[in-house]
Amino acid sequence: MTNFLNKFLNRRVFFIVIFIVIFVSATGGAFYFGYQKGTENPKTVVIKGVGSIEEGRPESVDFGIFWDVWQVVKDKYVEADKLENQKLVYGAIDGLLGALDDPNSIFFPPDDAKKFSEDISGEFFGIGAEIGIRQNQLIIIAPLKESPTEKAGLRSKDKILKIDDKSTEGISVDEAVKLIRGEKGTKVILTIIRDEWDKPKEITIIRDVIKIPTIDWEMKDNGIAYIQLYNFYEQAPFLFYKAAVDVALKNPKGMVLDLRNNPGGYLDVSVHLAGWFLKPGEIVVSEEFRLGEKEIFKAAGNGFFQNLPVVILVNEGSASASEILAGALRDNRGVKLVGKKTFGKGTVQELQQLKSDSMIKITVAHWRLPNGQLIEKNGLDPDYEVDLTDEDIESERDPQLEKAMEILKSQIIF
């Protein structure tokens, strides 16, 4: 599946289309000027004054080499007569973002922008997995509950070496998404390697309609409520409210909040849900921007569960909004984390609509938890590291949940 789920953040929400024109207005005219002059004399064009207006220090940028290559392609490429100029421009933009070495900053041509919009609508065809890149390797961040990926036995941190016959070496997340997506009922073969395996395995997955689950809950022994939150999308606040009311009627003595394999969602949802567990005014997370600006997000909810003993389950598939909520409760209340180290997705992206229905998603800020920790590439270390092995899953045993229950029981007076 796509990294739908990875990642689409802004100052108030993870996925919100913000039309920012400062950079575009600064460079758009210069690009047009460069094209006109470049076609006349591609070897000597120098575009001056390209840069951020606010910085007050314009740079000189030599676009001559770009036009040199453009002309060589037009003159020498064996199939130059089949080239489309607009696709060449899209490719150049894609390369520009690739130079950032940031897998979360992506250009979407019109067709890809449409697919992206379908992804975040909550239903699409695919395999049901959040994917991402770590150390230049395509990996599964989290399989969705009851998705083709989960049914095939794939897990967080599984490395994807090939998609059908194509190697994933050097691939972008966007390219991987295009290869993995497909019509319902069709198959895709992923070559997977897991740390515990001696050699890679080919896993065949049948694509299906993917519906994104949100929340499950039940009461465990000794009055302990168990809430599993699968994402932080639009419906999460309302569905959590319904679950919280039902849980409250059971008079719980403690709660296990399960954020395993939760790849995130909207920032506002994370802050909203933190308000159920924190005192009003306590810091949930802060955003730090390029020029040093900072925006602080504080709990403003009812604090209904602020005195209830809570333990949080996390793993390698807990990312972004999950890490914010878990980190906020840990830093403010000393809530214990059980499981495995989280993914470490702690940057903020903004979506900007461009011409011809294309889009750009670009990283604009980093997150810091209340204790000052950067989430990006660091993740959260659990207070109690507990493995969940293939043997545990096959025998339907959950030692991570068992440990969380043990910790809660030690905190509760029966």
Choosing from 318, 320, 322, 358, the catalytic residue is 320
Active site annotation includes 331? yes
- Beta bridge pairs of residue 352: 360
Q: What whole-number distance in Å separates Cα of residue 171 and Cα of residue 160?
A: 11
Choosing from 7, 159, 298, 345, the catalytic residue is 345
Q: What whole-number distance in Å separates Cα of residue 325 and Cα of residue 307?
A: 16
**CA dihedral of 389, 390, 396, 398, whole degrees rounded to 10:** 10
Active site annotation includes 121? no
Q: What whole-number distance in Å separates Cα of residue 61 and Cα of residue 323?
A: 40
Asked if 286 and 296 count as a contact pair (C-beta separation under 8 A), the reply is yes
Contact partners, residue 105, CB within 8 Å, separation at least 6:
97, 349, 360, 361, 362, 363
Nearest to 270 by CA among 292, 295, 240: 240
- Beta bridge pairs of residue 337: 312
- Write phi, then psi, for 280 (nearest 5 degrees): -55, 135
Q: What whole-number distance in Å separates Cα of residue 278 and Cα of residue 286?
A: 16
Q: What whole-number distance in Å separates Cα of residue 380 and Cα of residue 316?
A: 10
Name the 3-class secondary structure at 372: coil
Task: Decide the pairing of beta strands 159-163 and 166-167.
Answer: antiparallel
Residue count of the chain, please give it.
Answer: 414
List Cα–Cα distances, 383 to 315, 335, 399, 404, 408, in angstroms.
Answer: 12, 9, 15, 11, 14
Active site annotation includes 60? no
Choosing from 331, 340, 358, 403, the catalytic residue is 331
3-state DSSP percent of the chain in helix, strand and coil, to 5: 30, 25, 40
- Phi-psi domain of 261 (left: phi exceeds 0; alpha: psi -120 through 50; beta: other): left
Asked if 330 and 384 count as a contact pair (C-beta separation under 8 A), the reply is no
Which tokens belong to 56? 């007050």
Q: What whole-number distance in Å separates Cα of residue 236 and Cα of residue 239?
A: 5
Active site members:
320, 331, 345
